Amino acid sequence: MRRTFVELVAGLTRRFSQRTERMRSALAEVGLALAGRAGARLADVFGARVGRNTVLWLVDALPEPQPQVPRVVGVDEYAMRKGRVYGTVLHWGDDPEGRGALFSGDIFMVVMDRRWVSFMYSIPNFIPERPRTIRRALALVEPFTFERIYGAFWGRVVTADGAAAVCRSAERYLRFALEDDS
């Protein structure tokens, strides 16, 4: 009977394992990128002969990533006046690309020309927002960095330079808006 002795080295090997931790990690990354069959083919090119189920098993064994809790910035004056507090603008500063994103309902409405936004009190009723509310909304989102703005409707996305698009749009909007009487 033949016996093999392997010393367990933390971070390098594990009990009853057929590959090093580094190889497991590399195969799991390949599996995350390409999944089963394609991942196994790529691993074979690099000399690691594994089956597609092994690649999927290694991906499945990875710990679940902890979801990040996004920060909410509420700028809906109507909801606050009525005693209901909820956020109509959501800022996501920790996106994987590090660019930041703003998700908006009514107040920052992405228009057909995706380089601009408009400011609406009620989109379904075509009611524009008041200038003082726009100024307040601008002050609330000013500290946040964001490149993208996702509007309330499918496909309405400002893909680059979102903060500048909001400022540029507000300047244009306020130039033509009637001032509040109060």
- What are the sequence ranges of the domains in the chain? 1-65, 71-176
Q: Which two tokens stand for residue 168?
A: 């540029």
| pLDDT score recorded for residue 74 | 52
> pLDDT digit string (tens) for 137-158?
888 888 888 999 998 888 889 9
Can you say how many angstroms the Cα of residue 161 is from the centroid of all Cα atoms in its chain?
A: 16
Burial class of residue 88 in the structure, from the number of CB atoms within 10 Å of its CB (0-12 exposed, 13-18 middle, 19+ buried) = buried
Whether this prediction's pTM lies above 0.85 is answered by no
Is residue 112 exposed (0-12), middle (13-18) or buried (19+ Cβ within 10 Å)? exposed
Summarised one tens digit per residue, pLDDT across range 79-108 is 555 554 444 677 887 777 778 888 887 778
What is the mean pLDDT, run by run of 10 residues, along the chain of 182 residues? 69 71 84 82 85 85 76 53 57 79 83 87 79 85 89 87 92 82 54
Q: What are the two backbone dihedrals, phi and then psi, of residue 113, each rounded to the nearest 5 degrees? A: -80, 105
